[in-house]
């Protein structure tokens, strides 16, 4: 046998090879651990496989990632034993081995035998008492993985063991056990919300240990206790409710702690309480104590002020720093773990430079917002005096917190505040002129919370125009954070105003144009958002020569000067241009060729990169697919806006051929717009693609997968367009399509829009192949009627109902069992075409004649409103 150094050299070669073929950043812990952790016994067991892997050239026989994961999982299951030999390896390597083992256990746990699992459990509990803090942390995570994968019933001794350890005189063991219990609460209990039995006794015992911690002076333990209480409130409220009075007093105290992290952890308690059905009853006696605490905690901390000190003065002339530019990514899920309230108030300071994250200030504001939703106007008598003191304070920090609080209660206390809103809006308008930028920033946000009132009041001279003008003015504020806050508030203003903006388009566009001249990098992102919202709000009212002349040149200049399609600004611009192209319609035509060409380059480059990667995944990085999403959406918008003018771009390009690949991409976010674009091409230029359509239909059918409702919705919509374009020629695919449609309609998962689209397309299929589908009418009538009753009047709904009527005429017997559902659906029309109205009326009269004397009895079972609608629409 070769010596250890030889094995290590072979292993080093393997991992250097692996680092070149797989993202090295993701596998850094693997490389570090394996460089240092392996020994003769471990390596000897898999060195033959390593050699085979290094020489394996056929990716079909051994896919690098899958092969690696399988073998590495075996390796680290063996290496587990070395994590409890502190004399053998350094602390960092032992902790690292635990991290790697955790990742591998997550994927391989189900393949392990009982003896191995039991062996691991004993080792993990042993490691909870290790001298190394990092090793104990790794052991805690490993305990959680086994608990999550195997469940608490398979480890009944775990909680009693940890509870005993908490009472231990060994400080390390006690603290580690408490942290392990907290981790269990966070990761396991939170994901077992609906499984309340048979664990309640154990759960109560764990809660008891958290309650015992409240007398501990150690702030880390206090933070842990607060975290535990919040987890119980969110997931096991019935267990904690008997202790609420004492806990509320404790949390009130800790929310005022000088330790900001402890105060933040305690403040989460109020946010959690706001979601309880019994919130009002529980917190009502404490509101007079709680409201002043929340308001005080809404002031900027010294830490936050220091974080903002470089961006509080006039800085519009200073270029944005590279590290200050917030990444723009349509695939960014960084905020997905935040609650709705946390998202709302995390966005509050998303304009800050640098980002200061989730803070006590934001958590307090979110809590006040949530509690105002529960208590409504009842909290105003206690809160208004506090709010007035803050708003009138000479201290800028206190005044700013008052303006934040005014925004926080906007939705919950609407009715009680309404009589005071004129004065409050005037106050906020004055604050927009405050010399301190943090006041102007928060005032923009607070104004945005009252936009519904501002945009609904008449005449416009009262608030609509003054607020609009002050925000437009501050687009060009001397402080960049204020610029962005004004743009963000203006987006909300435009959303609420809608078509009321039409008389003011010229004023708005002139402000946008000035922004193009003055803005630095980061402000452009919000400018693009504002343009997008304007286009969506006013639609084709934007298509006037003067407006196009103002708006398009600066947009196209930015679009044409960006050479890197993976640049964040290119992605933002494609989204903006998508809305503009839809709104401008034919007015976009002078710019269409340039935009189409760039989008097609992105599509071609991405498809080529994907095909190359599929051929050689061992030595190529996965392609970045963000740009093609934007390109698909922009091409789709051009098809919507240009209609028949879009045909020449399609027929003179390879776009249709590339859609064959993008409609099969592994990512639903790629397939979804690709399918929509293909459907528009079917509508606009079917003769051009008719000779190759049979290659595409199976791809569309493959996307009828209810697991991905966006792509499924669009695929179903494409089927409807293909039915209208092909007529009876779609018959060879009838069985496959029908089977998919029925499966989707009979499931209980998926979006409402997807069911509506599937129902309409299924009925459209019945329009072109009625004899075949009519035989199955008894299966599909009820779900189709239930879905289509909620569709607004449109061309697709009309086609769907014509198809449904064709089926009913051919199989009237199937109608009787679900007649009320049919009547409910046909009563959903507001404006119906005369010929379709007559078709439906004849069906109703036919049923009435068929039922004879039973008609009156059956008809009287209908709700009064339904009978009234049928009489108004069809005279029946």
* pLDDT tens digits for range 780-809: 999 999 999 999 999 999 999 999 999 999
Query: How is residue 60 written in tokens?
Result: 């079909």
Instruction: State the pLDDT confidence band at 229, using cuts at 50, 70 and 90.
Output: confident
Neighbours of 67 (CB within 10 A): 16
Residue 782 lies in a domain: yes
Average pLDDT, the chain: 83
* 207 located within any domain: no
Note whether residue 726 is domain-resident: yes
Report which DSSP code applies to 319.
P
pLDDT at 79: 42
> What's the token pair of residue 644?
């028949």
pLDDT at position 98: 75
Nearest to 846 by CA among 769, 838, 869: 838
Question: Which of these, 271, 292, 263, lies nearest to 401 by C-alpha position?
Answer: 292
Other C-beta atoms lying within 10 Å of the C-beta of residue 387: 19
Is residue 614 in a domain?
no
The mean pLDDT of 830-850, rounded to a whole number, is 94
pLDDT at residue 738 above 80? Answer: yes
**pLDDT score for 60:** 38
**Of 208, 159, 205, 201, residue with least CA distance to 184:** 159
318 is written with which tokens? 């200073």
Nearest to 695 by CA among 728, 661, 672, 665: 661
Residue with tokens 């009680």: 416
> Higher model confidence: residue 810 or residue 20?
810
Could you tell me if residue 742 is inside a domain? yes
Token pair for 791:
């569709």
Q: Is the pLDDT of residue 722 over 50?
A: yes
Distance CA(244)–CA(247), nearest Å, equals 5
Q: Is the pLDDT of residue 670 over 60?
A: yes
Give the pair of three-digit tokens for residue 180: 């392990």
Decide if 751 is inside a domain. yes
Three-state SS for 173?
helix
Q: Are 282 and 273 in contact (CB under 8 A)?
A: yes
C-beta separation of 169 from 138 below 8 A: no
Domain count, the chain: 1
Tokens for 264, please give them.
């933040």
**830-856: average pLDDT:** 92
pLDDT-wise least confident of 122-131, 328-337, 384-393, 780-789:
328-337
Residue 875, CB-side half-sphere exposure with 13 Å CA sphere: 6
CA distance 651 to 684: 11
Residue 50 confidence class, pLDDT cut points 50, 70, 90: very low
Instruction: Kindly report which listed range (326-335, 502-511, 641-650) carries the lowest average pLDDT score.
Output: 326-335
Residues 731 and 733: their CA atoms lie apart, in Å, by 5
Q: How many CB atoms lie within 10 A of CB 464?
A: 22
- Tell me what the mean pLDDT of segment 123-133 comes to: 83
Cβ atoms of 766 and 804 closer than 8 Å: yes
- Indicate whether 559 belongs to any domain: no
Residue 328 has pLDDT above 70, yes or no: no
- In this structure, which long-range contacts are made by residues 453-459, counting pairs with CB atoms below 8 Å and at least 24 apart in sequence? 453/418, 453/421, 453/425, 454/425, 454/493, 454/496, 455/493, 455/496, 455/497, 455/500, 456/496
pLDDT band at 198; cut points 50, 70, 90: very low
CA distance to 210, 361, 538, per residue, from 564 (Å):
54, 39, 31
For helices 655-662 and 693-702, the axis angle rounded to 10 degrees is 30
State the pLDDT confidence band at 236, using cuts at 50, 70 and 90. Answer: low
Give the residue from 183, 102, 192 showing the smallest Cα distance to 138: 102
From CA 268, how far away is CA 226, in angstroms rounded? 8
Which DSSP helix (H) or strand (E) runs through 4? helix 4-21
pLDDT band at 167 (very low <50, low <70, confident <90, very high): confident
Q: What is the pTM of this model?
A: 0.79
Contact between 646 and 581 (Cβ < 8 Å) = no
Specify the 3-state DSSP secondary structure of 790. coil
Q: Higher confidence at residue 34 or residue 507?
A: 507
- Higher pLDDT residue, 559 or 243? 559
CA–CA separation, 713 vs 711, rounded Å? 5
CA 448 to each of CA 225, 372, 454, 488, 497: distance values in angstroms, whole numbers, following the listed order: 37, 17, 9, 8, 12
> What is the distance in angstroms between the CA of the first residue and the CA of the last residue of the chain?
94
pLDDT surpassing 70 at residue 145: yes
Tell me how far apart the alpha carbons of residues 788 and 745 are, in angstroms, rounded to a whole number. Answer: 12
Kindly report, residue by residue over 564-598, the tens digit of the pLDDT: 888 888 899 999 999 999 999 999 999 999 999 99
**How much is the pLDDT for 705?**
93
* CA trace torsion 73, 76, 78, 80 (10° rounding): -130
Q: Is the pLDDT of residue 272 over 50?
A: yes
C-alpha to C-alpha distance for 251 and 265, rounded to whole angstroms: 9
> How does residue 67 score in pLDDT terms, banded at 50, 70 and 90?
very low
Q: Could you tell me where the DSSP H helices lie in 167-319? A: 171-187, 200-212, 219-235, 237-240, 244-255, 260-273, 279-283, 287-297, 302-308
**Calpha distance 825→843 (Å, rounded):** 13
Alpha-carbon dihedral 318, 319, 322, 328, rounded to 10 degrees? 110
Q: 392, 383, 390: which is closest to 410 by C-alpha?
A: 383
Across the range 774-778, mean pLDDT stands at 93
Nearest CA to 770 out of 823, 712, 812, 710 is that of 812
Question: Would you list the DSSP string of 497-532?
Answer: HGGGGGGGHHHHHHHHHHHHHH--HHHHHHHHHHHH
pLDDT of residue 355: 61
C-alpha–C-alpha distance, residues 489 and 442, integer Å? 10
Over residues 541-560, the mean pLDDT reads 96
What percent of the chain is predicted at pLDDT more than 70? Answer: 81
Full 3-state SS string of 801-812: HHHHHHHHHHCC
Q: What is the pLDDT of residue 369?
A: 96
* Higher pLDDT among residues 415 and 153, named by residue: 415
* Structure token pair of residue 632: 């698909």
Tell me if 71 is assigned to some domain: no
Provide the residue range defining the domain that includes 770: 713-876
Reply yes or no on whether the pLDDT at 42 is more than 60: no
* pLDDT exceeds 80 at position 827: yes
pLDDT digits (tens, 9 = 90+) for 361-371: 999 999 999 99
b vs e for 103-129, b when ≥16 Cβ sit within 10 Å of the residue's Cβ? Answer: bbbeebbeebeeeebeebbeebbebbb
Q: What 8-state DSSP symbol labels residue 193?
A: T
For 351, the 3-state DSSP assignment is coil
Q: How far apart are CA 866 and CA 789, in angstroms?
A: 12
More confident residue, 24 or 650: 650
Report the C-alpha gap between 330 and 566 in whole angstroms.
12
Length of the chain: 876
Q: At what angle do helices 626-642 and 655-662 cross, to 10 degrees?
A: 130
What is the pLDDT, as a whole number, of residue 343? Answer: 55
Q: Which candidate, 296, 522, 282, places its Cα nearest to that of 401?
A: 296
Tokens in use for 617?
């995944």
Say whether the peptide bond before residue 354 is cis (omega within 30 degrees of 0).
yes
Helix, strand, coil percent content, the chain, rounded in steps of 5: 80, 0, 20
pLDDT at 351: 47
C-alpha span between 851 and 610 (Å, rounded): 61
């Amino acid at each position: 046998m070769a010596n250890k150094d030889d094995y290590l050299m072979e292993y080093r070669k393997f991992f250097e090879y692996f680092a070149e073929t797989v993202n090295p950043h993701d596998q850094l812990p693997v490389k570090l651990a394996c460089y240092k952790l392996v020994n003769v016994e471990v390596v000897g067991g898999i060195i033959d496989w390593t050699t085979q892997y290094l020489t394996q050239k056929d990716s079909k026989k051994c896919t690098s990632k899958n092969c690696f994961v399988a073998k590495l999982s075996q390796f680290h299951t063996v290496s587990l034993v070395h994590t409890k030999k502190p004399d053998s390896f350094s602390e960092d390597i032992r902790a690292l081995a635990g991290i790697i083992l955790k990742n591998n256990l997550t994927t391989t746990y189900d393949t392990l035998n009982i003896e191995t699992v039991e062996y691991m459990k004993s080792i993990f509990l042993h490691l909870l008492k290790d001298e190394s803090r990092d090793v104990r942390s790794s052991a805690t995570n490993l305990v959680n993985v086994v608990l999550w994968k195997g469940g608490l019933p398979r480890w009944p001794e775990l909680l009693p063991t940890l509870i005993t350890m908490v009472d231990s005189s060994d400080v390390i063991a006690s603290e580690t056990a408490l942290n392990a219990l907290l981790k269990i609460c966070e990761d396991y209990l939170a994901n077992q919300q609906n499984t309340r039995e048979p664990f309640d006794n154990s759960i109560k015992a764990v809660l008891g240990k958290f309650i015992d911690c409240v007398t501990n002076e150690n702030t880390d333990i206090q933070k842990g206790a607060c975290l535990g209480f919040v987890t119980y409130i969110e997931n096991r409220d019935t267990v904690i409710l008997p202790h609420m009075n004492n806990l509320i007093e404790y949390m009130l105290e800790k929310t005022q702690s000088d330790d900001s992290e402890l105060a933040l952890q305690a403040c989460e308690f109020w946010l959690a309480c706001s979601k309880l059905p019994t919130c009002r009853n529980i917190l009502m006696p404490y509101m007079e104590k709680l409201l002043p605490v929340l308001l005080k905690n809404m002031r900027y901390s010294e830490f936050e002020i220091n974080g903002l000190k470089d961006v509080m003065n006039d800085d519009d002339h200073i270029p944005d720093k590279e590290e200050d530019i917030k990444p723009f990514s349509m695939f960014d899920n960084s905020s997905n773990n935040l609650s709705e309230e946390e998202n709302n108030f995390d966005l509050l300071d998303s304009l800050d430079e640098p980002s200061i994250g989730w803070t006590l200030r934001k958590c307090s504001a979110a809590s006040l917002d949530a509690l105002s939703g529960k208590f409504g106007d009842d909290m105003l008598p206690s809160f208004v005096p506090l709010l007035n003191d803050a708003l009138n304070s000479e201290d800028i920090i206190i005044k700013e917190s008052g303006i934040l609080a005014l925004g926080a209660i906007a939705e919950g206390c609407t009715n009680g505040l309404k009589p005071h809103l004129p004065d409050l809006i005037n106050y906020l308008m004055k604050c927009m002129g405050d010399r301190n930028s943090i006041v102007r920033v928060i005032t923009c946000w607070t104004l945005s919370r009252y936009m519904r009132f501002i945009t609904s009041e008449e005449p416009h001279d009262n608030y609509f125009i003054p607020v609009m003008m002050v925000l437009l003015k501050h687009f060009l504020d001397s402080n960049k954070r204020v610029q962005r806050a004004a743009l963000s508030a203006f987006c909300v203003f435009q959303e609420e105003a809608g078509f009321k903006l039409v008389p003011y388009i010229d004023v708005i566009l002139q402000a946008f144009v000035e922004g193009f001249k003055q803005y630095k990098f980061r402000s452009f992102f919000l400018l693009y958002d504002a343009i997008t919202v304007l286009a969506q709000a006013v639609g084709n009212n934007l298509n006037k020569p003067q407006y196009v002349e103002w708006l398009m040149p600066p947009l196209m200049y930015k679009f044409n000067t960006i050479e890197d399609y993976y640049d964040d600004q290119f992605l933002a611009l494609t989204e903006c241009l998508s809305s503009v192209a839809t709104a401008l319609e034919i007015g976009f035509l002078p710019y269409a060729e340039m935009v189409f060409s760039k989008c097609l380059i992105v599509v071609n480059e991405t498809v080529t990169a994907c095909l190359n990667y599929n051929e050689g995944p061992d030595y190529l990085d996965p392609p970045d697919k963000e740009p093609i999403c934007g390109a698909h959406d922009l091409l789709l918008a051009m098809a919507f806006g240009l209609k028949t003018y879009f045909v020449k771009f399609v027929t003179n390009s390879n776009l249709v051929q590339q859609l064959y690949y993008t409609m099969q991409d592994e990512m639903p976010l790629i397939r979804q717009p690709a399918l929509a674009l293909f459907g528009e091409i079917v509508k606009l230029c079917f003769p051009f693609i008719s000779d190759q359509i049979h290659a595409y239909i199976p791809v569309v059918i493959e996307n009828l997968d209810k697991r991905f409702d966006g792509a499924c919705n669009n695929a179903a919509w494409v089927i409807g367009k293909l039915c209208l374009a092909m007529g009876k020629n779609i018959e060879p695919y009838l069985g496959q399509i029908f089977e998919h449609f029925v499966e989707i309609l009979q499931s209980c998962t998926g979006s409402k829009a997807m069911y509506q689209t599937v129902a309409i397309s299924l009925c459209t299929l019945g329009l072109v192949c009625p004899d075949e589908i009519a035989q199955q009418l008894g299966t599909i009538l009820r779900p189709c009627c239930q879905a289509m009753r909620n569709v607004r009047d449109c061309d697709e709904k009309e086609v769907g109902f014509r198809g449904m009527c064709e089926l009913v005429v051919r199989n009237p017997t199937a109608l009787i069992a679900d007649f009320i559902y049919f009547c409910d659906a046909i009563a959903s029309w507001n404006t119906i075409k005369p010929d379709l109205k007559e078709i439906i009326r004849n069906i109703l009269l036919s049923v009435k004649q068929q039922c004879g004397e039973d008609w009156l009895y059956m008809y009287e079972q209908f709700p009064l409103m339904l009978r009234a609608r049928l009489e108004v629409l069809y005279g029946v």
